[in-house]
Structure 1
């Protein structure tokens, strides 16, 4: 039996246990059902290059010019049975004129037990999920309550850093120890993410509010190295972010400290443990590793401070093990957000880069850039918000010369949104 067979077998066993407990709970009483969602419609204008969603090298999800879009139709279905067991299925839909679609973005079962007398609690999740990294995307259907466009870090997570796996968290709750401090340690084992890093290499960091759907593939900019005589000729025209090719299990660990009513700090390390000697049906296996740190803190005058930083490497080789794409990368942001009565104002600044270390001709992945986001939100009613946002990204990317665009480019975007949460 292969590693993937064992992994899937265990997943099936866990699912069967969940179904069994669900049936038992129906005998004990009613299962609790909860449906929530978000409808986000936007009018915008972008002074930009063609979007990465249409195989361009633009940094936004919108093409150059004006647009009217259903930017997110998110639906979350949550069930709870007993005190410990629950499940969540999240679907998202988009009608943006570039890459319309609807599909699953998360689907998982969860066991979260009652804390012991000393405050120790076990929290286990299994399914299609995000790694536990984002401090920004905490609203319904993985939306951000602070801005319309995610930071570059969370945009990359939304695009290609998701997996099917098992996440286990051990928590120590301070209130059981007469303390204001909580601690947790999370270990995640996962598969179905073997191409993670491809889009970061070939179009770089982006700013978006779109989450790649489970069934979707992502178009790649046509570069000379992908021509029939190039070193990347075997690469398919689209990258499949949720495929399993090497039957290996990756890992992610996160340690977190929370100081009640003040904030929290986390640090983590991610390694997809990929075998880069494999290429199947035009999909190469990428070895991607990164560390990340983040903090979310309440400052004086009710100002929220949120910051995250990520640094790592992604590697793709040929079947002989010779590096074809070898990139170091980093991204970090600082965001300040203030809410008062019906208003919220948020400001986010970012710095990001990709450093190309390989010698593959006609495939320059170097990139350096900075970004500024200013957002204003007004609450019309409890679930209904009107939001205005301005984004500007100043970036240098030599690969733009392959498609006859300026290497140095300043891109801007203005958006007005109506977001209704239910």
Structure 2
């Protein structure tokens, strides 16, 4: 799918300026409980009933200086009746040199960025060309797994070796991610298309452990996903193999290297570590396969090191996509869970669930798409009993969207 159309200009300093974007207007209906965006324990980014929303106004401003240097600033806006907003989601300076005679080149990026994980969110402004709602794995990345950091990639391009195989290794060092894991613990996995803006904080469902006298009564009412509290540097490594015209496979490990003995202004530091694997592959009959799996741990302690929240988590999806003429159909199935290992009263983070998404897309013309989508999430979360809601819950969502890429 073409994700953008550029309008290029070159100024006297020989700098190219490119602007791209996406406008996504949706009507939908959800059957479930209160949205996690409003401090509830529902899995969708919308409340019960019918909605009409500007689900994404994404803008990307790209500049190119010569062959190697570039920059990109991405802003996103939403008018959804819950948390309307407009703000920056990415801001990156990049150096990517020309390959040498052996096909080796370096790619260095610095700024506010996502870790290089998602295989799903590859369109303009980190949108997904496949579905209106991201997988639970990538919804979590959109919500609280972003940082300010330095990413360095070394690539070996096979065509310089008369080979169909490319290889790359990426190392990322970062800060401003000390609360990563908080929302995964307190509302669990979700399914959304909303990316947290850099200035936003995220509401937390009120549970007994956060009331006066509970072990979490010092926690602020909102979590700040992009704050720096311990002045420590985290890391992410990623290895990728690409077989041209066939597909690609990648594997990585993320560790925010946090000092969990620190709490400031109601924000606790969380130690979050996970491994992830993923693949994109071309199957027979023009079907494409995209799949990712993540497994890890997240820990929050008191200032003396006593474990208050200690969770294992995992999420994985398989996405099949078939495109013909102006049509595209996408099918995604998912499984996710959180396992609570601590003994904190009034804070049960256990969760288990499955998700099913079916999407149909029709291309009106090159940049304009109409999309229909159905989402179903079947989950078990004991913490819903704190809010007098059903522990076992099936939530459904129907959406129709007009998306215009420019």
Question: TM-score band (shorter)?
Answer: over 0.9
The root-mean-square deviation of aligned C-alpha atoms, in Å, is 0.8
- In the alignment, which residue of structure 2 is the partner of 1:73? 57
Deviation at 1:264, TM superposition (A): 0.2
- In the alignment, which residue of structure 2 is the partner of 1:401? 385
Deviation at 1:30, TM superposition (A): 1.9
Matches within 5 A, 1:321-400: 321-400=305-384
- In the alignment, which residue of structure 2 is the partner of 1:241? 225
Distance 2:178 2:164 in 1: 40
**CA displacement, residues 99-141 of structure 1 (integer Å, 9 cap, x when unaligned):** 0000000000000000000000000000000000000000000
Distance 2:163 2:343 in 1: 54
Q: 1:91 aligns with which of 75, 90, 98?
A: 75
The structure with the greater share of residues assigned to helix is 1
Matched position secondary structure for 1:349: strand
* Corresponding pairs, count: 397
Whether 1:100 aligns to 2:84 is yes
Deviation at 1:71, TM superposition (A): 0.1
Deviation at 1:26, TM superposition (A): 7.4
Matched position secondary structure for 2:373: strand
**CA displacement, residues 80-116 of structure 1 (integer Å, 9 cap, x when unaligned):** 0110000000000000000000000000000000000
Matches within 5 A, 1:57-206: 57-206=41-190
**CA displacement, residues 173-200 of structure 1 (integer Å, 9 cap, x when unaligned):** 0000000000000000000000000000
Distance 2:335 2:67 in 1: 43
- In the alignment, which residue of structure 2 is the partner of 1:290? 274
Distance 1:34 1:262 in 2: 31
Distance 1:259 1:49 in 2: 44
Moved beyond 4 Å, runs of 4+: none
Q: 1:256 aligns with which of 228, 231, 240?
A: 240
Distance 1:134 1:237 in 2: 29
TM-score (norm 1): 0.94
Distance 2:206 2:402 in 1: 35
Matched position secondary structure for 2:261: coil
Deviation at 1:162, TM superposition (A): 0.1
Distance 1:48 1:91 in 2: 30
Distance 1:327 1:64 in 2: 29
- In the alignment, which residue of structure 2 is the partner of 1:30? 14
User: 8 Å contact 2:101–2:160 — kept in the other structure?
Assistant: yes
TM-score (norm 2): 0.97
**CA displacement, residues 368-405 of structure 1 (integer Å, 9 cap, x when unaligned):** 00000000000001100000000000000000000000
Matched position secondary structure for 2:163: coil
Distance 2:32 2:132 in 1: 17
Whether 1:227 aligns to 2:202 is no
Q: 2:33 aligns with which of 4, 24, 49?
A: 49
Distance 1:137 1:42 in 2: 19
Distance 1:290 1:267 in 2: 11
Matched position secondary structure for 1:182: strand
Matches within 5 A, 1:199-214: 199-214=183-198
Gaps of 5+ in 1: 1-24
Matched position secondary structure for 1:56: coil
Distance 2:304 2:109 in 1: 37
